Amino acid sequence: GELARVGMADRAGDYPENLSGGQRQRVGIARALALKPEIMLWDEPTASLDPILVGEVIEVLENLAQIGTTMLVVTHELYFALRAAQRVILMDHGQVVEQGHPQAVFANPVSEVGRKYRDLLERWREPALTDGDPTYRPQRGAGRRVYRGEIIPGKVHIRTG
């Protein structure tokens, strides 16, 4: 079932007070998946989590992206956006300043905001920027707020601003 998809099948009988924040978030994702939505909307799915638990939720969202789940995501997890999105939109003061494939936007920015993101990614020297390293683990707080762009079925869309 859906609990198995989010790695929680073994905790099916547990009460919420016996689950960590990340586990509760994964159960929430399973509940949403049970409804078989055309698109999943996530508003800061990792915002209230301990940094150690962020990776659990990011991994579930990345797995959903890999199987073609259409998602609209608001997140502070810049590396998640880089790895999972097919399209990002960078915004500054409500204006679109960059948009496109995340690798292109973050590697070759044309705006000052885009260059700040690129510089941040280069300082962290995260392999996800250049080679899609499968051993990647997200770094908390490595970017600005990320929002969603236009909806294309089976894709993850993220807009930053």
The domain locations on the chain are 1-36, 39-160
Question: For the domain bounded by 39-160, which CATH number is listed?
Answer: 3.40.50.300
The HSE-up count of residue 28 (CA atoms within 13 Å, CB side) is 16
Higher-pLDDT residue of 25, 91: 25
Q: Compute the distance between CA of residue 29 and CA of residue 32 in angstroms, rounded to an integer.
A: 5
Q: Enter the pTM of the model.
A: 0.64
Mean pLDDT, residues 8-26: 90
Of the listed ranges 28-42, 124-138, 139-153, the one predicted with least confidence: 139-153
The per-residue pLDDT for 158 is: 56
Write out the two tokens for 45: 């799915």
Higher-pLDDT residue of 109, 160: 109
Contact 157, 149 (CB under 8 A): yes
Write out the two tokens for 58: 């990011």
Higher-pLDDT residue of 109, 133: 109
Beta strands in the chain (DSSP E): 40-43, 71-74, 87-92, 95-100, 146-147, 156-160
Higher-pLDDT residue of 124, 136: 124
How does residue 148 score in pLDDT terms, banded at 50, 70 and 90? Answer: very low
How does residue 159 score in pLDDT terms, banded at 50, 70 and 90? Answer: low
Q: How much of the chain exceeds pLDDT 70, in percent? A: 76
